[in-house]
A and B are shown apart, each in its own frame.
Chain A
Amino acid sequence: MSTNGAARGNYILEVEDLYVGYYRDLNILQGVHMYAEKGKITTILGANGVGKSTLLKAIFGFLRPNAGDIRLNGKSILDTPTHKRITLGLAYIPQHMSIFRWMSVEENILLGGWTFRHDKERLRRKLEENFERFPILREKRKQPVGELSGGQQRMVELARTLMTDPEVILVDEPTAGLAKLLKREVYQMLRDLRDNEGKTIVLVDQEIRHALRIADYVYILDLGRNKTEGPVEEIVADLKKAFWI
């Protein structure tokens, strides 16, 4: 699989030769690359602890890379502080539920529009859009989010993320800890985002079956390094090779 710049025009998010670690000299990611194509779902797979979540954290700026580059639309975003990255069209849904649990559903979703909080009209419109997308949230708009079920909390998170109309959404194990029925629903939501709204999604997951079903391009990491990658058909065709089972 070639990763040279032949088709670079289509790549909206590019991660090159990334070294990241929690301590200065202990890198969890050692020279990882990842290219996400516009309007596609790029899935990153791998066993526990190979650094998949670390990769997303680094892309969103919670960890500062020791070396390497991260580019969004061709421009390096390494020097953009974490809280500013959302204004670049990047959004992040962490693995652990990242909701404000003592605030109401409506406040949670509105906070997603923090960056354009002075634009009342746009806020109202986006809030309405979200309530249309997730009607159940409209019913519970005044309820503290902490009282909702896990799936609904994920919905709130997603709705909050969509407030800013991000181009690229980084999603970290969206179904961890959810019931089986809900899982399908969450993946359907992601698929809809790609198909109907043309979002670029980078999905990190353990649920290989589901993840492969909605993926367009797959990267497989092993102990902080790229192992295999390819369009989803190739990977599915030769799962054995991909996972070295």
Chain B
Amino acid sequence: MKFRRIYILWALTALFLVGLIFYPRLVNLQPYWVLVGMTALFYAILASSWSLLAGYTGQFSFAHMAFMGLGTYAAGILIRDMGFAPWQATIGGVLITGVVGLIIGYLCLRLRAVYLALFTIAFAEIFRLVVKAEVKFTGGPNGLELPTYTFPGWLQNLLRTIVPFWDANVYIPAYYTMAFLFVAALLFMFLLVRSRFGIFFRAVREDEEAAAALGVHVVNTRVLAFVVSSMIAGFAGIVFHHFIGLIVPDQMQIGRMSLIIAMAVIGGSQNLIGAALGAIFIHFSLEWLQQIPLPTAVLQHLLFLNDWGFSVDLHAGVLRTNAWRMVGFGLLLMLTLRFWQNGLISPIIDWLARREAVESVAQRFQAERDMDAVDDVQAIGSQAEAGNPQEPTS
């Protein structure tokens, strides 16, 4: 049997899944690192659902975190004020996210892509400010508390037998729920883009008019992608924050949204899995960078920054340290966009899967010419076989 590159891909996938399952063991069940892993998966879901919209339909939503927050707040309020059980509230929250997404989608997606971007950035920021201000209703800046999910007894027992360290700390059930959601969400989106709708998404992105001429309803297709992507964000947010126990409005700030976009773009927004891996990679490297004491104080002293701002105190110092790390990722985001538009991770996946990366028109022409050349060679070959004893050169 001949070796094929796709085997490497399968092997890596298997390795990743094994890693996903045994991750809590790998970090010795330390609650902090389990939480980090769970958060990474949460961001991975957000990044890949964002790239479902951006990489497949070419529309950019800057309200992805806002939809995440919207769903979570809706669920929290349903539980607090209307006595919903957490699982009912989860469904309710996702539906509310979908309805709001539908309204915004129909408002903006009739127009050029930039309108959705413009509207969602305004919506996201203003939604956050309103949530912050409506103290009585949403808890304001202190956030809204959410109860943890309780698993039914039989499931709890089943999980305990499968995972012996299930009760080692509170984040382990959270981690596994998130991991399950991660795999399910990726599988769902993967099937969606492989389905008829996936083809519609791409068609609408490549050539709106041609797609419309072929009978694809352009606006509905875009709205579908937008609503699905927002609902997945809402779902992930609700589940995540149920385990965390609290959502604060600053979770929705534009800086986080930027980070999600950086994750998706650096991973490769044309590829759901690339975006997800990008998110996991970036989240872990941010955590890892946090372990390294960046000589911020020295740096700022050298740059005379303290003279211009104010003296460093501890809290601000920490924030600044984080800021410089984020600056690095901002720069990486811009360079990736400029020089590697397909991202850094998804080209590897594409290469392993032997799929062409998203090809440029020039490349496509090249490919067609190559095909023609092959045809020519074959034609020459068949002529040669027919009339000429001479071997065709290959």
A/B contact in complex, CB under 8 angstroms: yes
Residues of B contacting A25 in the complex (Cβ-Cβ under 8 angstroms): 362, 365-366, 369
Asked if A176 is at the interface of the complex by the 8 Å CB criterion, the answer is: no
Nearest Cβ distance between residue B168 and chain A, in whole angstroms? 60
Q: How distant is the Cα of A26 from the Cα of B361 in the complex, in angstroms?
A: 11
A23 lies within 8 A of B361 (CB): yes
Map CB proximity to A onto B317-346 as digits: 1 under 8 Å, 0 otherwise.
000000000000000000000000000000
Map CB proximity to A onto B347-374 as digits: 1 under 8 Å, 0 otherwise.
0000000000000011001100100000
Residues of A contacting B366 in the complex (Cβ-Cβ under 8 angstroms): 25
Nearest Cβ distance between residue B240 and chain A, in whole angstroms? 47
Asked if A24 is at the interface of the complex by the 8 Å CB criterion, the answer is: yes
Residue of B nearest to A24 (CB): B362
Map CB proximity to B onto A23-38 as digits: 1 under 8 Å, 0 otherwise.
1111000000000000
A11-43 with Cβ < 8 A to chain B: 23-26
Residues of B contacting A24 in the complex (Cβ-Cβ under 8 angstroms): 362
Residue of A nearest to B364 (CB): A23
Residues of A contacting B365 in the complex (Cβ-Cβ under 8 angstroms): 23, 25-26
Residue of B nearest to A22 (CB): B361
Q: How distant is the Cα of A25 from the Cα of B361 in the complex, in angstroms?
A: 11
Residues of A contacting B369 in the complex (Cβ-Cβ under 8 angstroms): 25
Q: How distant is the Cα of A25 from the Cα of B367 in the complex, in angstroms?
A: 11
Q: How distant is the Cα of A73 from the Cα of B369 in the complex, in angstroms?
A: 38
Residues of B contacting A26 in the complex (Cβ-Cβ under 8 angstroms): 365
Q: How distant is the Cα of A89 from the Cα of B369 in the complex, in angstroms?
A: 40
Q: How distant is the Cα of A25 from the Cα of B365 in the complex, in angstroms?
A: 8
Nearest Cβ distance between residue A21 and chain B, in whole angstroms? 9
Q: How distant is the Cα of A24 from the Cα of B361 in the complex, in angstroms?
A: 10
Q: How distant is the Cα of A24 from the Cα of B366 in the complex, in angstroms?
A: 9
Residues of A contacting B362 in the complex (Cβ-Cβ under 8 angstroms): 23-25
Residues of B contacting A23 in the complex (Cβ-Cβ under 8 angstroms): 361-362, 365
Nearest Cβ distance between residue A28 and chain B, in whole angstroms? 12
Q: How distant is the Cα of A24 from the Cα of B363 in the complex, in angstroms?
A: 9
Q: How distant is the Cα of A23 from the Cα of B362 in the complex, in angstroms?
A: 6
Residues of A contacting B361 in the complex (Cβ-Cβ under 8 angstroms): 23
Nearest Cβ distance between residue B358 and chain A, in whole angstroms? 17
Map CB proximity to A onto B182-204 as digits: 1 under 8 Å, 0 otherwise.
00000000000000000000000
Nearest Cβ distance between residue A30 and chain B, in whole angstroms? 14
Q: How distant is the Cα of A25 from the Cα of B363 in the complex, in angstroms?
A: 10
Nearest Cβ distance between residue B374 and chain A, in whole angstroms? 16
Residue of B nearest to A26 (CB): B365
Residue of A nearest to B368 (CB): A26
Residue of A nearest to B369 (CB): A25
Residue of A nearest to B366 (CB): A25
Q: How distant is the Cα of A23 from the Cα of B365 in the complex, in angstroms?
A: 8
Nearest Cβ distance between residue B25 and chain A, in whole angstroms? 53
Nearest Cβ distance between residue A26 and chain B, in whole angstroms? 5
Map CB proximity to A onto B108-122 as digits: 1 under 8 Å, 0 otherwise.
000000000000000
Nearest Cβ distance between residue B208 and chain A, in whole angstroms? 21
Nearest Cβ distance between residue B362 and chain A, in whole angstroms? 5
B356-394 with Cβ < 8 A to chain A: 361-362, 365-366, 369
Q: How distant is the Cα of A82 from the Cα of B200 in the complex, in angstroms?
A: 40
Nearest Cβ distance between residue A224 and chain B, in whole angstroms? 16
Q: How distant is the Cα of A23 from the Cα of B360 in the complex, in angstroms?
A: 10
Residue of A nearest to B360 (CB): A23
Map CB proximity to A onto B164-185 as digits: 1 under 8 Å, 0 otherwise.
0000000000000000000000
Q: How distant is the Cα of A26 from the Cα of B367 in the complex, in angstroms?
A: 12
Nearest Cβ distance between residue B364 and chain A, in whole angstroms? 9
Q: How distant is the Cα of A25 from the Cα of B369 in the complex, in angstroms?
A: 9
Q: How distant is the Cα of A21 from the Cα of B365 in the complex, in angstroms?
A: 12
Nearest Cβ distance between residue B79 and chain A, in whole angstroms? 57
Nearest Cβ distance between residue A22 and chain B, in whole angstroms? 9
Q: How distant is the Cα of A24 from the Cα of B367 in the complex, in angstroms?
A: 13
Residue of B nearest to A21 (CB): B365
Nearest Cβ distance between residue B360 and chain A, in whole angstroms? 9
A73-88 with Cβ < 8 A to chain B: none
Nearest Cβ distance between residue A182 and chain B, in whole angstroms? 33
Q: How distant is the Cα of A25 from the Cα of B362 in the complex, in angstroms?
A: 8
Map CB proximity to B onto A64-106 as digits: 1 under 8 Å, 0 otherwise.
0000000000000000000000000000000000000000000
Q: How distant is the Cα of A1 from the Cα of B71 in the complex, in angstroms?
A: 78
Q: How distant is the Cα of A25 from the Cα of B360 in the complex, in angstroms?
A: 13
Nearest Cβ distance between residue A238 and chain B, in whole angstroms? 37
Nearest Cβ distance between residue A53 and chain B, in whole angstroms? 20
Q: How distant is the Cα of A23 from the Cα of B364 in the complex, in angstroms?
A: 10
Nearest Cβ distance between residue A174 and chain B, in whole angstroms? 30
Nearest Cβ distance between residue B10 and chain A, in whole angstroms? 36
Q: How distant is the Cα of A103 from the Cα of B272 in the complex, in angstroms?
A: 48
A96-147 with Cβ < 8 A to chain B: none
Other A-B pairs, 7, CB within 8 Å; known A23-B361, A23-B365: A23-B362, A24-B362, A25-B362, A25-B365, A25-B366, A25-B369, A26-B365
Q: Which residues of B contact A (CB under 8 A)?
A: 361-362, 365-366, 369
Q: Can you sample 5 A-B contacts with CB below 8 Å?
A: A23-B361, A24-B362, A25-B362, A25-B369, A26-B365
Closest 8 CB pairs of A and B: A23-B362, A23-B365, A24-B362, A26-B365, A25-B366, A25-B365, A25-B369, A23-B361
